[in-house]
Every structure is written in C-alpha cells, then in structure tokens.
Structure 1
C-alpha cells in the first residue's frame, strides 16, 4: 500500500484591516440596535486597488441581539432605490443634451404614469429646480421626466448604457455565493411601459451592495473600475506561492466631462441635498442616499398592511482626493424612521470619521510640535507606544531602560515614560491602562477580571503589590460609565 505524505496547507493573506473591520461592525451594530432593524451590512473599499478593508453583516435574532449569519453584502440582491440614480445621471449626461443648470418642473411632487403615481418624498414637491438639484434632493419626478425626455422611444439605449457601466455583471469576487444582477432588457418577460421610468429611480433592478459599491468606487477612482479584492496572496512557510494583483474591469466608465459633473452632484448631495446631516468641517464626503420599498414577491410592496423599507448610503471620502469608498445598507428599520440619510448615513459617517481620525497621512501639514495639546496616552506596552508616537510625529522621551510596560506622563512639550515592573507573584498596578492591556496583565497571572464601563482603568479592587491569589476576581472601574 502506497503512503501519501501529508502536505502543509497554505496561509491566506487578505486585504482586511482588523481595525477598520472592528470600526465598521461596531458602528453597524450600534445603529441596527437603535433602529431595531432586521439586518444590515457595511463594506469599506480602498479606491485605487479595490481592496476590501472591512465587510460587516449582522442580522437581528428573536431576542433582539445581532449576529453574523449570512453575507448580505455579496449574497442578497435587492432593488437599490435612489443609489441607482447616479447611473441614470451618467446615462443622461452621456446620451442627452443635458446640463446641470437646466431646469425641470417637478410640480407638487406627483407624476401619473399609466395607473401608477410616482411621488417625491417632500410634501408639496420641489417645484422648478435644476438638474443638479433633482439629483441632490433625489426627486423621483424630476429623474423620470429627464429620462422620458432623453430616452422615450430609445429604451434599449438606456438599458445598454447601464450595461456599459457593468451593472448587469457580477463583480467576480472570490467569495462564493455572489448573486448575479437583474436588469431587464426591452422585450424581456415582464418589460412594460413602466419599466424604464422605474429602473431610472432604482426599481425593477436587483443588485447586491458590493455591486453598487464597485460602481461608486469607479466614480471615486476617476472612472477606473477595479474588481473587488479580498485575497492578496497565498503563503507557504512565509513565502508567496501565488499573488493576486488588483484587476481592472473597465479603464473608464464614462467621459471626463461627465465624471466631473457627477463628482459635483455627489458632493452636492452632502453639502446641499438629502445628506446634509453627515456634512462635517474636517473633510468632504460625496455620495448618494437611497430609500427603497422592499418587494414581498407576489404580494408586492405591502404585506399585512405594512411597507418595509431598505435604507442605504454609498459614497467616498475625502471627496477631493478619495481614498476609501463605503456602502451601508439597512433592511427593515422600525420606529417609523426609514430614510437613507437618517438610518444609513450616520453609520457611514461614524465609519468615515474614525477612518479619517486614524489616518495620519491626511494630517501631513500638522507637525507634532505644532499641536496645541498633546494627546491623552494610556499606560501600556512601550513598543506600541513608540510606534504610535513615531507615526503621529509626537515628541516622545523614553528613559532608555529596556522594559515591556511603561506608565506615561506628559508636559507641554513631550510625552515621557516610566518603567513598570511586573511581578508574577504580586498584583500589578493597571490604573491608567486600557481594558485590553489590563485584562492581559491580570489574566496572565491567573486572576479573573470584571470591568464596569469603558475607557481607561480608574480603580482596581485589589491593591497593587498584594499577593496574587489565582482564581480570585479583580473588579475594575473604568473612566467612562456604561452607556
């Protein structure tokens, strides 16, 4: 009998950033809980490469808790609603004699199409507004009137334009289970006189969150569409055995002039339109809100007298030189609050704020000695502290002694450290440490830890220097109470 020697497997080097993943999942969880939503997802992508830096998916259990049980970002396709209007804008600018300053009469926000009434979200409508404003305030009536003006009788040209934007093709991401987009063509089963108008505002089309994000990432990337990448390489014994470089799907999704106008509109959505609630003075966000009714199969959009909604926001930041794109989709938010700017927008902003605040390259004009106040710094490991101080270019003084753990002091000019001696037989002083470091120190000595609150350790129930009694509990009170 021949023996086959076992062969070591390979390691996978992913594109995920652990810190960004934590940020995205925490922000998603907090807001899903706040809205009592059914499920939701958030994806953060690096604009230039298509690298997925974070992908979070959470679903509500019967007891109100949330857990990751399904990859909605890749495996669930829905009608996207107003986030699709940006593709419609590109089609209008490329195929029609349309300028952003042209005006559209949207009346009182109602439009009769056959036996269907299209409505705007603003009570009483927007009246006469510019093309730019149509997309900034997300007027369904305005978008449909423009599409009818340019593509009435040319429905095939409109759908072909969506196909040219690769919206009818899956991204091909390495994760199994990606759902193929659904975009009808004139003549297909189910096509009607309502199809093109409804498609222009994001209905009668089904896309996954990742497919929508890939399209917006191309807009952020100066028109260059790249394939979403989750795996960089396979490694064996630390050596690369197969690499997966970034792949270009399409070198340019539209003309430079169109792209410039689209950038202007997406920035306007946040500066003047439906997403002003996420505007901030530190950096610009560009993007589009989306609020769509969720179809219930043959029952239509209303089931049991109730309409369910999907709220979304997709965009990129900083708008003037985009580094990251991001999409947030929240399904079935409750509490009668369901608009994309209110439900999904704040999740996007919380993610982008934390990414921006922890990206030192965006603060290159600020030197450490120009900071008015040196940052608060926790007691912790010297190696990590030195790394952070170097990255942020903050004045730092170590006493030169080789030690793993240090206490930290600061004066008006620099941050100083004092060595901490850790004994295996005595309870250490963890006051001033972050919770992770404190737990590591105490549990490594065989102690149990119960913490109350967040932030930095303010007090500990067992005094430093007392003998370690393995299995006993140390209670920690943190600097910020539980919220």
Structure 2
C-alpha cells in the first residue's frame, strides 16, 4: 500500500499546538508567560465543550501559562490563545500558517492518490468547506485539519534547523559502478518560518514538554530531546468512533539537533496516550546516539579504582588453572587437593579456595558459570531449571541441604 508517512490523512491532534503557538507568538498575540484560566479543564464555546485530558478528575488547575499549556497539552489554553488573537479575524491565523509554509502544495516521488501527501488546512473563504464558529478554536489543538505525518516532520525539522524548513527527500544520490550519476539538492520551502525570538521560545517549550510535561516518559539520561506529544480521535461515520491516533514529533539532541523523528501509532491496542510514542522515540534516539558516539582518549581514561584483571568464575579447578597459566596470570597453588574451587583476588594474585563437597548434600554453585553449575548439580542427583546468563547469583536450595534425588533445583544467572 501507500506509505503512511505521506498518505495518512488524519487530524494531527496536539502536535499541531506547536503551530498555533508559533503563529500567535510571532504575531505578538501572546508571550510564553501569559496565563489563561482552565479551571477543571472544561471550556464552553458556542454551545460546544473544549475538554482537557484531565477534565474527568474534577481537578481545578486555575490558571496556566502558555508554556505550561504546551507542556501538559491543554486544549483549553490553546483555544483561548487563538480566540484572544484571531476570533474577530480568523484569516490572520491562517495567514500565519501560510507564513510558515504548511499549506504549500508539494509533490513527492511516491505513488499517492487524491489529497494524499498534501496538507488540508481550513481557511475562512473556502466555499467548499464551511467555516463554522467553532472551527478556529478546534483548529488550535489539531482538529478541523488533515495533515500527513511528513508535513509535521517537515515542520518540526524546520524548528530544529533554526527556522529553515526544507522538503524531506528520500534519495540523496544515484550511483553506478561507484560513480555518482545524479545528485538531489534539498528544496527550501520556507527560509525563515518565524522570528528568531519566536523560535527560541518555541524550542524552550518543546524541551519543557519532554523535561516535565506529557512527553517526560521520553526523557533520556544521555542527551536532551525536544518535541510534542499528540492524541487525536479518528473520525468515522460522521463522528469520532474510529479509535485513536497517537503521535510524537521531535528532534535530538535538543541542544545540537542532528535528527528529527515522527512516531505515529494508529488505533493502539491499549489505552491511547501520546507519551507512549515518546517512549518509542526515546528508544530509537538512544540506539542511534550509542551507535554514533565518539569518545576522546580523555573520556576513555580508566578508573583507577576499578579492577583491571579478568573476573574468574568459580568452578572446576583444573580447567581454570590451565587457562590462567596460558594467560600468564598470577595464581596461588591450592592449599589442599580439591576438584572445585571458588576464587578471591588480592595483591594482583588469584587465590583458589577449596569448595567443600559432601555426598548427599546440595553443593554451593554461586559464582559458577552455567556449564560447571549444571554439571555439578546433575552429578549430585538433581534436575536443573536455569534462567539468565552469566554467573549463578541464586539457587533455590541452600548449600548443605539434604538432596532428594530427582527433585528440581532452580538457579538464576546474571
């Protein structure tokens, strides 16, 4: 089928709130610290209710600033923002969206049908699509529009790219026999989406979403991520009974953006929350970061408090002893004859300690690898259930317990 990044024409939901904030900030309608009354998350306008995601809790949040409204994804704040600035002139709001470049028709080198791959954003003079009294506030939080993911990705990438919005492209160049035969240049859609001051404010808000807002489940310990969560109901049969569409669009590292990513999940099988997609983006971002991490020699200095010698597993003495002699490791001789040993390490020397074994009693296999532990336990008459990998850290029967032959002992390795 067609690629969903281009063809999925759905109302974007709360990822569009960043567009609303950018337009209103750039027009001087608001500042990030302007506050609006949200109360318990219900706001009635023209006999329709705007609801915040927490409205059923009955919690009175009082006033929220614009930046707090973006962080917690408040529909009430965003609707009041556009009504404050554009209720009497909704054309100005759409003109701000045009200034960003989100209504520009673009062509893509992928097979598409009808309106797929275009942004369908309402405007007041459209004779074919009635502009109602509630269109403006509902647009502010991502309804009354249809925008494919590729457009939202392009918009957020423009923020990461210091305000320059470029058209995403799938192929950088064609080569034949190792030689470049065709190269594709990036197409600039909007050289500057907004004022520099507006861009800085928007970036701070998007960082706040992940640091302390609805996207905080996507916060990474390795680097900062900035972006916006989104949740939208799917229109079906004249209503919104088609399930949910959750998304997150953002960029990383937020202080030096290298990647922009859009995550969308249509009709999730569990409860639908935008933070679920923030977790997905975090996992992808951290894997990319780790693969591309480059450390300087100074960053790789060895911690002097760490043991630099290899850790030896407890187990069969003869095998370990042969291996350690081949590695030229300093090893003390056994103080007495023994088949099985545990190891200690001090003063750059390995010291074997005989592991006492008595017939009919459960042996101590902690610190052993899987092979030695299973061999010794089965030799003692026990069945073995093993989980994990590494060294044995726990065994279900204590060492020294009487063995009932044929019973199963569980061991855990880490």
Match of residue 181, structure 1, among 119, 122, 140: 119
Question: Does residue 333 of the first structure (1) align with residue 261 of the second (2)?
Answer: no
Q: Given the two structures, how large is their TM-score scaled by the length of structure 1? A: 0.60
Match of 2:31 among 95, 99, 110: 99
1:366: how far off?
5.3
The number of equivalent residue pairs is 306
Q: Report the alpha carbon displacement of residue 197 of structure 1 after superposing the two structures with TM.
A: 0.6
Answer with 1 or 2: which has the greater Rg.
2
Cα 1:81/1:145, change in 2 over 3 Å: same
SS of equivalent to 1:358: helix
CA distance in 2, matches of 1:209, 1:105: 32
1:103–1:130 contact (8 Å) kept in structure 2:
yes
TM-score by length of 2: 0.69
The structure whose RCO (Cα within 8 Å, separation 6+) is larger is: 1
Equivalents in 2 of 1:318, 1:180: separation in Å? 29
> After the TM superposition, which residues 150-165 of structure 1 pair with which residues of structure 2 at under 5 Å, given as runs?
150-165=85-100
Task: Supply the distance in 2 between the matched residues of 1:260 and 1:290 (Cα, whole angstroms).
Answer: 21
Give SS of 2:20's match: helix
Deviation at 1:176, TM superposition (A): 2.8
Partner of 1:344: 277
Task: Indicate whether 1:71 and 2:6 are aligned.
Answer: no
Q: CA deviation at 1:167?
A: 1.4
C-alpha displacement of 1:103: 1.5
Distance 2:258 2:230 in 1: 22
Long gaps (5+) in structure 1? 1-68, 377-452, 457-479
In structure 2, runs of 5+ residues without a counterpart are 311-386, 391-412
Write the distance in 1 (CA, Å) between the matches of 2:53 and 2:3.
Answer: 31
**Structure 1 residues 171 and 268: alpha-carbon distance in aligned structure 2, compared to 1, 3 A threshold:** farther
Distance in 1 between residues matched to 2:235 and 2:153, nearest whole Å: 22
- Matches of 2:102 and 2:36 in 1, distance apart? 27
The aligned runs of 1:50-449 (5 Å cut-off) are 69-122=1-54, 123=57, 124-177=59-112, 178-188=116-126, 189-296=129-236, 298-302=237-241, 308-335=243-270, 337-341=271-275, 343-361=276-294, 363-364=295-296, 367-370=299-302
1:373 deviates by 9.3
For residues 198-225 of structure 1, what are the alpha-carbon distances to aligned partners after superposition, in whole Å with 9 as ceiling and x for unaligned? 1110001101111100000000010011
Partner of 1:6: none
Contact 1:173/1:227 (8 A) holds in 2: no
d(CA) in 1 for partners of 2:37, 2:138: 19
Deviation at 1:235, TM superposition (A): 2.2
* Counterpart contact for 1:110–1:125, Cα < 8 Å: no
Structure 2: distance between partners of 1:168 and 1:205 = 11
Question: How many Å apart are 1:175 and its aligned residue?
Answer: 2.3
RMSD, aligned α-carbons: 2.5
- Check the 8 A contact 1:170/1:211 in 2, yes or no: no
CA distance in 2: counterparts of 1:99 and 1:334, whole angstroms: 39
Aligned mates of 1:184, 1:366 — CA distance in 2: 56
Is the Cα–Cα contact under 8 Å of residues 13 and 143 in structure 2 kept in the other structure? yes
Superposed displacement of residue 91, structure 1: 0.8
Write the distance in 1 (CA, Å) between the matches of 2:151 and 2:299.
40
State the alpha-carbon separation in 1 of the partners of residues 205 and 297 from structure 2. 29
